[in-house]
Structure 1
């Protein structure tokens, strides 16, 4: 193999190491920050913690979700016809990119079928948080 081709081949083999692998970041963030309350499969906990699986709340409050994750909530919310009144802590440490990956994971699993979000969409929604 001529030398230029060998160098090009080595460069191509090294290329994946130049990029981070965020493909499964949403799943990892969910496991780290959400699963202990909402369950491994988003099933929630009886009438204490609302389910994320098949949740009508996710669809009807889509624009509010980045703020809810960032700042938490302590008001009554209704999910699939059931009222829940427990405090949900927010997480100010998660970046807009992390929030985007987390929301894209939750909104595309367990029967949820929302369109994918972009980081700029999430950032714009965060800019409108009260």
Structure 2
């Protein structure tokens, strides 16, 4: 009985801490790679739509899903990575000398701001230090998008 009370107390303490941490307001300061609000929103989109293939650490799955850690696709041309999100990949892709075979479905159902946020998150996380992806850049690529 005493042990059960201790376990329940620990659980409730952890739950209270977790819930209070979630309710903290997002600061609107800017980092070198983008606003903290954009990065925070991008993390939510990443968790919902990208994490299952690219993993929590952005490491991907060898020979299946490419890593998002310091690769030319992530750190390079913003237009190219925006097109990857919009169009996906339906064939093997070679990234920095490694081949990946798992198809990536298009994520074109995401709103332009969600794409800008998730790409800003990816380009500033996992050890990456690239500039933010702006809403206007996503809008321009989507309007001119050709697979």
Normalising to structure 2: TM-score of the pair? 0.68
4+ aligned runs moved over 3 Å, structure 1: none
The answer to whether structure 1 residue 99 and structure 2 residue 131 are counterparts is no
User: Which runs of no fewer than 5 residues in structure 1 stay unpaired?
Assistant: 1-15, 17-21
1:103-114 counterparts in 2 under 5 A?
103-114=119-130
Partner of 2:42: 26
Alpha-carbon RMSD across the aligned residues, in angstroms, is 1.8
Q: CA deviation at 1:89?
A: 0.7
Normalising to structure 1: TM-score of the pair? 0.76
**Contact 2:66–2:95 (Cα < 8 Å) also in 1:** yes
1:55-102 CA distances to partner (integer Å, 9 max, x unpaired)?
Answer: 122233421222211221113322231011221011222110110000
Provide the rounded CA distance (Å) in 1 between the counterparts of 2:93 and 2:73: 8
The answer to whether structure 1 residue 77 and structure 2 residue 97 are counterparts is no
In the alignment of these two chains, the number of paired residues is 110
